[in-house]
Chain A
Amino acid sequence: MVKQELANRPDNTAFTQQRLPAWQPMLSAGIIIPGFVLIGLAFIGIGVALFVTSRSIQVLEIDYTGVETSHPCFTCSDPDVKKCVCQLDFTIDSLFKGPVFFYYGLNNYFQNYRKYGASKDDDQLSGDLSNFKSPSDTCSPYEYDSNNNDKPIAPCGSIANSMFNDTFKLYQKVNGSKKLVPFDGKGIAWWTDYNVKYRNPDVSPLKNAFNGTVKPLFWPKPAYELDPSDPANNGFINQDFLVWMRRAALPDFRKLYRRITEGDYRLGLPAGDYNLEIAYNYPVLSFDGRKKVVFSNVSWMGGKNEFLGIAYLVIGSMCVFMSLVMLIVYAKFKFPEED
């Protein structure tokens, strides 16, 4: 009966009475100052490791835009000159340890521009044949070729259209003759891109799938003929195409072109003179762009990256410095009479 009368009596639980057991961290100078020192030292440690590693990575960067008249590629930089090939000579003083990664780099190129990035048809690129006939209007203005009976473009859109199409051959000059350095172009794209995201239509031969479509305006050859040497490396799963389709984050970027892992160059590029033969097709001067090639070897932290190491060092020292300041402040407050 008593219970019935007290029907509205609140429950006496820790939750309803807001008496949940809780840990209330009591911070004190004794924890905070050593904490700061420890974190600072840890950051300095990481910074040193990064810095040292980064220093050990060899990088060779060569701009081949051909801005200066003296540059071997100057003649090629004129957009009116077609099928231009220029030769670049360079010397490696000591062994460039392998595996060597060979990148091409572009500067002032806004691959992260939103409308540029949106200008593609994901369904078409995943092999949907209906989108070969009528590409999504996201590809506009590279949807239909107006010069070619308004035929649909495959692959459509800006990104595909602007695919980087310079090609490189590297020779080592041995006793006056040129020895081709073999490039490895396999597996330079993401696994998911190659296996899931981009698919060729299930049509054999691949060429038939592209019936009734035209190649992108800027392309010299259609998608199914991108790599004449390897029939499997064509269409939308061509490695170079995949690398290009993965948009860069920032206007200055590199993209992996080839790896040097085979034959005599498995251990790296030996010291000596080299010759780089560039099929110069891609115009960048019109938008103040720059093109370059980069040779680099890699470590556990990837390519050379001095910024990160330095940033760690700076912030680590900052923490240590601050802990010193705190110590002084603390001492002043703790023993005010003695000052």
Chain B
Amino acid sequence: MDKGSLESGLTWEVRANSRQYHNHKQKKSVLCFHWGRYADNVIRSNKYSPLTFLPLTLFEQFQRVANLYFLLMMVLQCVPAISAIPWYITIIPLLIVLSVRGAKDLANDMARRRSDAEINSRPCDVLISKSFSKGQWRDVRVGDVLRIHKDQIIPADLLILCSSEPHSLCYVETADIDGETNLKFRQALGATHNELTSHPSEEMLAAFDGVALCEEPNNRLYTFRGQLHWRGECFLLENEHILLRGTVLRNTEFAYGLAIYTGADTKIMRNCGKLRVKRTQMERVFNRVVMGIVLSVLLTALLLAIGAGVFSSWVMSHTGPLSPLVVNGNPVYTGFLIFWSYIILLSPAMPIALYISFEVIHTVHSLFIGWDREMYWQPADRPAQARNTSLNEELGQVGYLLSDKTGTLTQNRLLFRQCCIAGEIYGDATVQAEDIEPMDLSWNPFSCGGLFMSAPDLLEKLRGQQCPLSRQFFKALSLCHTVMAEWKEEAPVYQAASPDEEALVGAARELGWVFLSRTRDFIDVSELGVPRQYQLLALVDFTSKRRRMSVLVREPEGGLKLYCKGADIVILERLHKDCPYQERMERALELFAQACLRTLCVAVRSVPEALWEQWSKTLAQSAAMATAERDALLEKLYDQMEMELQLIGVTAIEDRLQEGVPETIALLQQAGLKVWVLTGDKKETAVNIGYSCKLLDPETRLLEWQELRQILQSPDPGVSFFKARQMELWAVDKQPAGAKTAVVLTGPELAEFDQRPEWGATFMSLAEQCQSVLCCRVTPGQKADIVTLVRKHTRSVTMSIGDGANDVNMIKTAHVGVGLAGVEGGQAVQNADYALSQFRFLQRLLLVHGHWSYRRISFFLLYFLFKTCGFALVHIWFGFFNGYSGQSLYEPWFIALYTVFYTAFPIMCVAFFEQDVNADSSLKWPELYKSGQRQELSSPLMLSLSLLYAIYTSLVLFFIPLGVFYDTAYDQQVMAVTVALAATLTATIEIVLMTRYWTKFNLAAVCVSVVLFFICSKITNSTILFQKSPIDYYFIGASDKAFIDPLIWLTALLTTWMAVLPSVTALALNVILTMHDKHKVHSVSRQPVELRSKFTRGASHRRSSYALSQGSGPGRLITSASRIPSTVPTVDEKVTEEGEHSVTGGVYISPIGDIRSHG
């Protein structure tokens, strides 16, 4: 048997109730050594342990070139022979940088530990020595038998042994795993069910000694293979026997399960991806620049060292070893020492303070995000939160937004908003659901709110017994469904496979037709307080091919009625020939579709007793037939049953989008972002949400897998794609080809990309021209794969947004991950870089905070490079005039204070407060955001320009004073003060030119910096300090002497003006040349306002609603209403295709239908 299982790949052996066996093989690890097989059920997302923190954090930090470089500098400066400047000039900033960063990492890690501990200590019941005892998740081991209560989260992947429900069914909610909100059922094996439920279960369970053989842990959520060997028999295990960690047990009193995979081995954890340290693109570019600077410094130092060697050999040959210049030893050795001296001397060109400033700026930007009242969600008292404080500038560069659907775009709330009964429309969808005046339903003891429709006239008709059709309509709603009622505190609570049904049954309840309970054969309903029992003769369930469902009931009075509800095109073609009100109903359908409501038609048919007898015979007949044959027969029978219907009404349900979703998406699209939807949900739902949130236009052509595949396989995908689009244009519209195509993919189709890695690039190049891409039925792992695909094939910044555990992986994988703090567990937020409460806050996060952050940080970077290089490179030019001796042109204190005191504050103020336009304008002109996507301010070109400018500045800073001081009696210290003055003034003027938003802080910072320069020069050149330490403060009196000399001031003035002249000129030309562009921007940017007003106008094209859980009219402009006939057929085609697909997917298995087939 074992051999067989090895061959089939079932190598994961789990023995029930034998901890001893599994403990033995427990997974353990010390440092980097791991052994054992079975992981424990403890989540560890922390990076450090007390022992590894220091080495790990140092290791991480010294991976940064600059930190390592500065460590080296410090060591070098301790060698007197080469120490051009004292060592303490370097160590202080380095220590600060290291400790601040380390403290931040530690704090983050502690937060992760805390949240892990919270999860690991959740309670659960574990069977230990014949009785269940309260335990924690961390105690669960492979092979343990667990008892899960209703509404508990399942702690590990379990094999169901039995449950409290008939046939050991369990209902689970998988929203946290795949985003679907309908209940799924799972079932125990018949064998375990029969054996384990017949006796007091605890004893039986304790004695259970089955051995499960299954696959090694993997990340495939929808498949499971295994065998259970018990009592000499072998049972096959499948996905339906497994409860996954992270799902929630619903509707089931309790279930018993055997832990198969625990902790890191569970399917959801395997889907979670690795914790990775995110670094921004700009930081990466910047690291490259730093590398470049290091290399150039090394090269320059080498050249200068060669110069030094030549010079010293020249001095040696002319004056001998005892020259005044003290050149001792051989020239090569001198050159060697000078090399290191120059590396030290040029090291200020390496902007080490930049890293610490970076941290500070990022932190402040993150605080601003948290402080923003516009992103504060009052109902939950939750402000936005930047959990990762080092990604802010990426927010201004996002090119791809990959969004989850359920809970992110939609609220996951379905509201019964309108209905049309007998041609009469009730309710008003133009009023916001929250603003509707609730009707007085106090007469109804079962009413518990949740109806967002105001129709007093309908109520009057219903209660006044005037309108039989409307009564029948609600009777139909209360009978024709697969909802189950559960009694809680004297009121029924409905559990539905689809939220739409729940909304419909709930609406019927509010209006007096209360579905009370169901048994196999009867449905109990209270009609306006009168209890009635209907006998359920047949229930023909929904499939996505049929797109309708029916019930055949015997009324208490004796008549037979068939109630049917379904998609309009399905129902309309099955109507009785001369159905009254049909025209008015169809108009109602159009109206509802305009308002983006999901519609369903409700119809009825009176069935004569004789006909039913005939049908029931056929049904009995079919029970004995083979499956395929039976299915064909039943299909035909159902077709006959659902004929000659009489249309009684249309329902309209609103799938509530999160507030402001369509506006946000439109705004983001204008800002040049590509918005993709990745969802675990069904394709139909995803497409409909795509329409209702304006991600897709009604005229958008959907490109599906078959077609896409052909395009990808064709030799020239670009051309084929263009053709495919052209055809569409020919048929429908003359609009520019632009972004009117969208790709719809499903998970299994995406899996093909694994085999064809070459498709990735092609696909991305196509997708770039598409309006959007929708990926449905994708696993969390696939979501992450899509993010990876985008990251790999474009240079854009990706952002993922989601709210559930199934989004964690993609949130971690994207450059920036945003978690919505929604109803579902905080998993997404825990792992996200930014936590928001509402999808619409994204526009502010990106367009305002992101845009500002990007500009601020770009300016900061450019300026920092300029100011450090500009002042440090002077030493190269000075080298030519001092025999390449490594002499510093500046006072060492100036070098230390320049970066910290004289130039840091103004640029920090710019990095904190700079705004090119204010928040409102940023939102008004989303086009401004594109500069970040194009990296206009942070491109390598800009960085190189900044460096070139720095080189120019250093030349000016040295050569103009050189010209003035050449062959004069001015000494070196006065020249040092002059150059320092000019350098400080240049840096200051440069920042003054850069600042566009002068707050009082900016002004103060600029003034303080300049004043500090004079004060600090005065202090370090003072007599008192000199007397304390003559070696450190040997510039005594230099600045006093220099500042009273008009020539020094004139020199500094000339040097400064010359140094800033290029940027002043550039600024001036920019102002002169862009005057007209600005006008253009302003006139163009009125567009978005108009666009937004279009939303309120709504759409007028009626679109077939999908049955049951789907169905929504896409938006369409009033003008295109005339095109109904031309597009309906194509819709039809599409729907059929989708239907086929869904059938194979096997999503719509109604629990009740299943029970019936069992019984």
Contact = CB atoms under 8 A, between A and B. Distances in A.
Contacts of A300: 1046
Interface stretch (B2-10, B87-95, B322-330, B1116-1124): B322-330
A162 B965 CA distance: 23
Interface stretch (B575-583, B600-608, B770-778, B992-1000): B992-1000
A305 B1073 CA distance: 40
Nearest to B1057: A315
A83 interface: no
A62 interface: no
A90 interface: no
Interface in A1-44: 5-12, 16-25, 27-29, 32-33, 36, 39, 43
A29 B1047 CA distance: 33
A330 B1072 contact: yes
Contact of A113 (B852, B882, B966, B1046): B882
A46 B1045 CA distance: 16
B963 A311 contact: yes
Contacts of B883: 110, 112-113, 251
A196 B1037 contact: yes
B397 interface: no
Interface string B828-851: 000000000000000000000000
Interface string B315-336: 1001100111111100000000
Interface in B214-233: none
Contacts of A141: 322, 326, 328
Interface in B942-970: 960, 962-970
B1030 A122 contact: yes
Given A115-B885, A329-B1069, A8 B968 contact: no
B78 to A, nearest CB: 16
Interface string A183-197: 000000011110011
A114 B341 contact: yes
B108 interface: no
Tell which of A10, A19, A301, A326 has the most Cβ of chain B within 10 Å: A10
Contacts of A116: 324-326, 885
Contact of A112 (B882, B1051, B1071): B882
A258 interface: no
A253 interface: yes
Nearest to B974: A249
B286 interface: no
A197 B378 contact: no
A305 B324 contact: no
Nearest to B81: A115
B919 A18 contact: yes
B628 interface: no
B315 A287 contact: yes
Interface stretch (B180-188, B265-273, B368-376): B368-376
Nearest to A142: B326
Contacts of A190: 1037, 1041
A10 B371 contact: yes
A287 B323 contact: yes
A11 to B, nearest CB: 7
Contacts of A10: 370-373, 376, 383
Contact of B964 (A20, A252, A255, A305): A305
Nearest to A113: B885
B971 interface: yes
A69 to B, nearest CB: 21
B352 interface: no
B1047 A6 contact: no
Given A20-B999, A113-B325, A315-B1058, A29 B1051 contact: no
B383 A162 contact: no
A317 interface: no
Interface residues of B, number: 85
Given A10-B373, A27-B1067, A251 B1058 contact: no
Interface string A303-339: 1010110011001001100100010011001100000
Given A20-B913, A286-B318, A303-B969, A7 B1069 contact: no
Contacts of A6: 378, 381
B1071 A28 contact: yes
Contacts of A214: none
A302 B1045 contact: yes
A24 B1030 contact: no
Contacts of B1057: 39, 43, 315
A276 to B, nearest CB: 19
A305 B1061 CA distance: 23
Contact of B382 (A8, A23, A333): A8
A196 B1037 CA distance: 9
A279 interface: no
A315 B376 CA distance: 54
A250 interface: yes
Contact of B971 (A122, A162, A217, A247): A247
Interface string B876-909: 0000011101111000000000000000000000
A254 to B, nearest CB: 5
Given A29-B1071, A311-B960, A329-B1072, A305 B1047 contact: yes
Interface string B1051-1087: 1001001100100010111011101100000000000
A288 B311 CA distance: 13
Contact of A308 (B918, B971, B1023, B1051): B1051
B975 A249 contact: yes
B885 A197 contact: no
Given A17-B372, A29-B1075, A114 B963 contact: no
Contact of B1037 (A191, A253, A301): A191
A126 B1026 CA distance: 11
Given A110-B883, A248-B972, A249-B975, A196 B1051 contact: no
Nearest to A12: B373
A191 B998 CA distance: 43
B881 A288 contact: no
Contacts of A36: 1068
Contacts of A193: 1037
A307 B371 contact: no
A29 B1078 CA distance: 14
A103 interface: yes
B1058 A288 contact: no
B325 A158 contact: yes
Tell which of B319, B378, B1041, B1050 has the most Cβ of chain A within 10 Å: B1050
B556 to A, nearest CB: 51
Interface in A258-279: none
A111 B965 CA distance: 14
A16 B969 contact: no
B997 A22 contact: yes
A311 B886 CA distance: 29
9 contacts: A8-B381, A10-B372, A16-B371, A18-B919, A27-B1071, A192-B1037, A196-B1036, A248-B972, A308-B1051
Given A115-B325, A250-B881, A307-B966, 19 more contacts: A17-B371, A18-B915, A22-B913, A29-B1075, A32-B1067, A112-B972, A114-B341, A119-B326, A191-B1037, A192-B1040, A247-B973, A249-B971, A250-B966, A251-B883, A252-B966, A287-B318, A302-B1047, A329-B1072, A330-B1072
Closest 5 CB pairs of A and B: A192-B1037, A162-B324, A16-B371, A114-B887, A249-B975
Interface of B: 84, 315, 318-319, 322-328, 341, 368, 370-373, 376, 378, 381-383, 852, 881-883, 885-888, 913, 915, 918-919, 960, 962-976, 996-1002, 1023, 1026-1027, 1030-1031, 1034, 1036-1037, 1040-1041, 1045-1047, 1050-1051, 1054, 1057-1058, 1061, 1065, 1067-1069, 1071-1073, 1075-1076
Interface of A: 5-12, 16-25, 27-29, 32-33, 36, 39, 43, 46, 50, 103, 105, 107, 110-117, 119, 122-123, 126, 140-142, 158-159, 161-162, 190-193, 196-197, 217, 246-256, 286-288, 300-303, 305, 307-308, 311-312, 315, 318-319, 322, 326, 329-330, 333-334
